[in-house]
Structure 1
């Protein structure tokens, strides 16, 4: 092939992106003219009428193209049948066959050495989905290298041939069509992996993998055909009506394929939900999806490809965003607890999910700019206010991405630590993790607020807004709010010091200076929630707590008195109670609660009675159970030793009571 022919082929290929607009140029120009007139006149009805008129004009053009297309196809068939027996036709056909033989031969030579590696990968044992992803990527690399060799061999061989004039465009279009379809088949085969379900990269039912690949390749073929063939028909063969008919037929078939796939997927989901006993959604998602697809197709028929492409991009981005979590966590399955709730898969998948969401949005924006045929090179090199604003928005998007990744990392680390600690059990001892259970939720909330403030301030600075006056104004406003809400500020500051000094934790039983007491269940920035032992939940501001008595720290000493007759042997009683204490400490149920064993001593002698003071040390909150058990064992031990408690008619002076002259003392 000569240098001039190569340059002409490259020039034709570079101009291929501008050909799509010619078929709609007159319609769009007429609609724009009528629309401008309607807007200038301020008449909404005229504007709507202009849109209807433009749609009517386009539909009439499509109808004319479908009517005249058969004649143009017949003329083209006649021209091809006439040109093929000539020298140029035979040369073009021969060169094309040579290209296919060269490309297929190069790829066949490669596969003679690469086939064993692919077979080994497909037969490998997969232990996890991430291992399957690694094997699938290696399989993709091997298959993609074969396709690259095929393309390089064809392009290299085509450069040596001098193609006849008028046939080079068909050759280039055919090569591009073959490469695009093969690339689509390669991607679909890697995602669905028909015949090798252990290597699939998508949440696709293995029984439907073949149909998925066929539908994907069919759509790719129709998309490539609707972009390549109409250009050749319109500019090389001078058949504009045939080109328009090809576009309409391709768009109709693509719509039918997508609509059929959506309806089959919804039907399968309904059958799965019915089989599993789950309730079906009340909202008619199937009807909405079908209406959206048909609506985009109708917009394409009436208003052209630009608006329909934008709507399709928006629908695709929304659909991908709703299913992205399912696709990402296909490789990092979430754990399901016995109560049906899910546990996050970890830090990496959450970061990947966040990055994927931003990537999908940016890809949608880029596709929309391409659909609008925006002069991105001129915009990037220009100094227009719009371009500066777009660049600033991209900067804000980058900041949001960084902040979001940081928030995901902090949230996931805190949630993982809280899950390892376990939920709060009001009947269990607080334990050493109570402080973490208290502070980690507050740290998570504080981090979210700090990151949000940093994002807002950084976004304003990136957009060119001076934030120094805002900070000064915020300081003045904060001072004014501080004076007006002194109680709120006092509560927050007092809460900070309570938490820093570790005065109480979640699960501990405390008593405040305001006579409010209970178990700490929840802590916020301003209040602490105390659950009283009778059930009520008190929300106490930190500023009202005052002196806090914590009954759940370290240990508790419990004391109680035993009234015995004055005739008993004090040393005998002491030894009996000491022996009872040793027995309780050796008990496997009661012993772990006791820090210091039960002991007794003669506390006081009153008329006719001896008071023995007993005490023991236990873990916080366990003294009530230990005291009840001590009462039961002491009673049994005293009865076994023949010692009875003091008679109820004996006179006993109650500690702290005063007996005035002439009055009767209290009776125990």
Structure 2
């Protein structure tokens, strides 16, 4: 029999095992329950979206079926109401409105037409001048449109409109104003009749289509927003309004698709005409899929979701093309050298402002599309969302100011780099090598400073206390300095190398690590040396040690000339001096030499006289000058009948007795 203690221990172990199994089963059940809950939520969300889409599509189908009956009823009501007094009065008032507005505009154009014709016929020297003339013409046309609107609105406010007709009159006036303004903007951009005033790179054959497509799209959007809502609210025809919206949206999608495909064909034609390769990425397919996707979202989810997608797509498309549109007005800007930004200061500032303006307009359009209560949010100072929006606007303003400041600094540096010209790795360093060395580092340092200031200012604008962050950054920097001593040593050594002007871009140097080459690139930590055999060495500043600069000021080149021992030393000196004077007078070799070629007797070996020749030249040019000196000295000695030492005389080596040896 087992002892009671053993039975008790076995019971405790069994109970612990059962408890652990129960806990594991409970934990597994909870995890499985949580996983099933998450899956159920996702499935419920997707199911809800599908049910809502199905309900909307069913409603659209029912609206299309019911629309003809409602349209017939509306036509019958209109034909009944028009012969009545209210109908005749409305038609009469409408004609009076058109006459008043058109008359005011006609009177204006009687005096303004010659000025517009003079603007259109003025010579245009560059796109910016064309832009100014186009804006002048736009202002004159807009003033005529404003007179038309003021005349119509003033006359409309004077009349007492019959009940039930005032809404249609107001909607018609707004529709006319919007369509005419859209035509004015599109015509100013494309300028079908005056290519010199065109504000975009549009082919002459496509300018009229651009204007027609733009006016058609704006007309359909305004029609859906004004008249169809009026049919639904005032005329009691919701099915007809919904069916007409489907028709207008479908036509709008077709117009956009036609514009996308036409632009794709136009781009391919320009690429083939200029010899460029058409883009390999199918942008037309992507744009077509995007348009169809937005149209599908509108059918399934409604106008708000589709508007958000459309606004996002439009803002993204404008941002990708904005650089080309802005720089269209500065075609004379020279191409930058490698590593610079491109166009001048003003185009870059205009581009930055345009990007911010497009983003802000996109956000405003999205807010309007969502129907946010802007008035209530603006009046309620305690609204956290409004405070957050104001803080974001402050951050956006700081980003804009910082970006403009960075553009100004970068453009000043890039303009100087463009004036210097690109670095030639095969040429000499030149007097601007120090600027080529320091300006890129100044540009990088300025970018880092602007970024740090922007981040700190943005945090302060958002209400985040930055003093602890600065203290933490100091502690972190101290720890980083101890942990990365080699990195800190390299950076500090590089600063002193650059401050003391030890080397520059394009100079040939030798470091204490036996690494040598031409300085091609300088960063905050390393210098890139191109060896004369081709390899590129990246040497940290802390490892450079003693630097020997072979490209500063001047170089003295020396070489030995072995001649027979019986030659006249004074004659040799004069011959070589005459060769040096001829080289100094040579227009090709002379500018490379600082001092002429000279020679003197260096030593006398058994059977051989060694003459030491030397000259002073610009750094890096000693090899070419030496080759010229060899060629001219050889010709001069040959003309004088003086041979070189043949190196085969038998001489006695000192201390070797009488044993002969051959001189090397």
Is this contact kept in 2: 1:659–1:665, CA < 8 A?
no
Is this contact kept in 2: 1:192–1:202, CA < 8 A?
yes
Matched, 1:667 2:663: yes
Q: What is the root-mean-square deviation of aligned Cα atoms in Å?
A: 2.7
Could you tell me which runs of 5 or more consecutive residues in structure 2 were left unpaired when the two chains were aligned: 1-35
Q: Which residue is 2:495 aligned to?
A: 496
Could you tell me which runs of 5 or more consecutive residues in structure 1 were left unpaired when the two chains were aligned: 1-37
Q: CA deviation at 1:316?
A: 0.9
Greater CA deviation, 58-67 or 602-611? Answer: 602-611
State the Cα deviation string for residues 56-98 of structure 1 (Å, max 9, x = none). Answer: 2222222222222222222222222222222222222111111
Q: Which residue is 2:344 aligned to?
A: 346
Call closer, same or farther: CA 1:563–1:211 in 2, change over 3 Å.
Answer: closer
Q: Which residue is 2:143 aligned to?
A: 145
Counterpart among 300, 320, 324 of residue 322 in structure 1: 320
Helix, strand or coil: the match of 2:595?
strand
The separation in 1 between residues aligned to 2:337 and 2:477, in whole angstroms, is: 45
Q: CA deviation at 1:593?
A: 0.8
Greater CA deviation, 395-404 or 632-641? Answer: 632-641
Call closer, same or farther: CA 1:576–1:404 in 2, change over 3 Å.
Answer: same
Greater CA deviation, 519-528 or 583-592? Answer: 519-528
Call closer, same or farther: CA 1:42–1:534 in 2, change over 3 Å.
Answer: closer
The separation in 1 between residues aligned to 2:530 and 2:286, in whole angstroms, is: 49
Q: Which residue is 1:423 aligned to?
A: 422
Q: CA deviation at 1:334?
A: 6.8
Is this contact kept in 2: 1:111–1:146, CA < 8 A?
yes
Call closer, same or farther: CA 1:660–1:547 in 2, change over 3 Å.
Answer: farther
Counterpart among 104, 107, 115 of residue 105 in structure 2: 107
Is this contact kept in 2: 1:226–1:250, CA < 8 A?
yes
Q: How does 1:110-125 map to 2 (within 5 A)?
A: 110-125=108-123
Is this contact kept in 2: 1:336–1:343, CA < 8 A?
no
State the Cα deviation string for residues 502-537 of structure 1 (Å, max 9, x = none). Answer: 111111111112222221122121111222223332
The separation in 2 between residues aligned to 1:222 and 1:441, in whole angstroms, is: 53
Q: CA deviation at 1:236?
A: 2.6
Q: Which residue is 1:464 aligned to?
A: 463
The separation in 2 between residues aligned to 1:287 and 1:606, in whole angstroms, is: 86
The separation in 2 between residues aligned to 1:276 and 1:133, in whole angstroms, is: 26
Q: CA deviation at 1:135?
A: 0.7
Is this contact kept in 2: 1:72–1:241, CA < 8 A?
yes
The separation in 2 between residues aligned to 1:362 and 1:236, in whole angstroms, is: 35
Is this contact kept in 1: 2:336–2:342, CA < 8 A?
no
The separation in 2 between residues aligned to 1:374 and 1:131, in whole angstroms, is: 42
Q: How does 1:105-184 map to 2 (within 5 A)?
A: 105-184=103-182
Q: Which residue is 2:3 aligned to?
A: none
Matched, 1:531 2:530: yes
The separation in 1 between residues aligned to 2:60 and 2:648, in whole angstroms, is: 115
Q: CA deviation at 1:226?
A: 1.0
State the Cα deviation string for residues 631-656 of structure 1 (Å, max 9, x = none). Answer: 22223223333334446355789xxx
Helix, strand or coil: the match of 2:300?
helix
Matched, 1:620 2:616: no
State the TM-score, normalized to the length of structure 2.
Answer: 0.88
Helix, strand or coil: the match of 1:592?
helix
Q: CA deviation at 1:322?
A: 1.4
Q: Which residue is 2:412 aligned to?
A: 413
Q: Which residue is 1:48 aligned to?
A: 46
State the Cα deviation string for residues 316-373 of structure 1 (Å, max 9, x = none). Answer: 1111111111211221227687999998232211221121111111111111111111
Helix, strand or coil: the match of 1:241?
helix
Q: Which residue is 2:61 aligned to?
A: 63
The separation in 2 between residues aligned to 1:545 and 1:59, in whole angstroms, is: 74
Q: CA deviation at 1:107?
A: 0.8
Is this contact kept in 1: 2:337–2:418, CA < 8 A?
no
State the Cα deviation string for residues 6-41 of structure 1 (Å, max 9, x = none). Answer: xxxxxxxxxxxxxxxxxxxxxxxxxxxxxxxx9999
Greater CA deviation, 213-222 or 45-54? Answer: 45-54
Q: CA deviation at 1:260?
A: 1.8
Is this contact kept in 2: 1:652–1:665, CA < 8 A?
yes
Call closer, same or farther: CA 1:75–1:97 in 2, change over 3 Å.
Answer: same
Q: Which residue is 1:357 aligned to?
A: 355
Q: CA deviation at 1:278?
A: 4.0
Q: Which residue is 1:590 aligned to?
A: 589
The separation in 2 between residues aligned to 1:100 and 1:206, in whole angstroms, is: 34
Call closer, same or farther: CA 1:535–1:342 in 2, change over 3 Å.
Answer: closer
Call closer, same or farther: CA 1:340–1:437 in 2, change over 3 Å.
Answer: closer
Q: CA deviation at 1:269?
A: 2.7
Is this contact kept in 2: 1:337–1:343, CA < 8 A?
no
The separation in 2 between residues aligned to 1:393 and 1:337, in whole angstroms, is: 36
Q: Which residue is 1:261 aligned to?
A: 259
Is this contact kept in 2: 1:606–1:652, CA < 8 A?
no
Greater CA deviation, 188-197 or 468-477? Answer: 468-477
Q: CA deviation at 1:608?
A: 5.1
Is this contact kept in 2: 1:438–1:505, CA < 8 A?
yes
Q: How does 1:288-437 map to 2 (within 5 A)?
A: 288-333=286-331, 344-381=342-379, 382-437=381-436
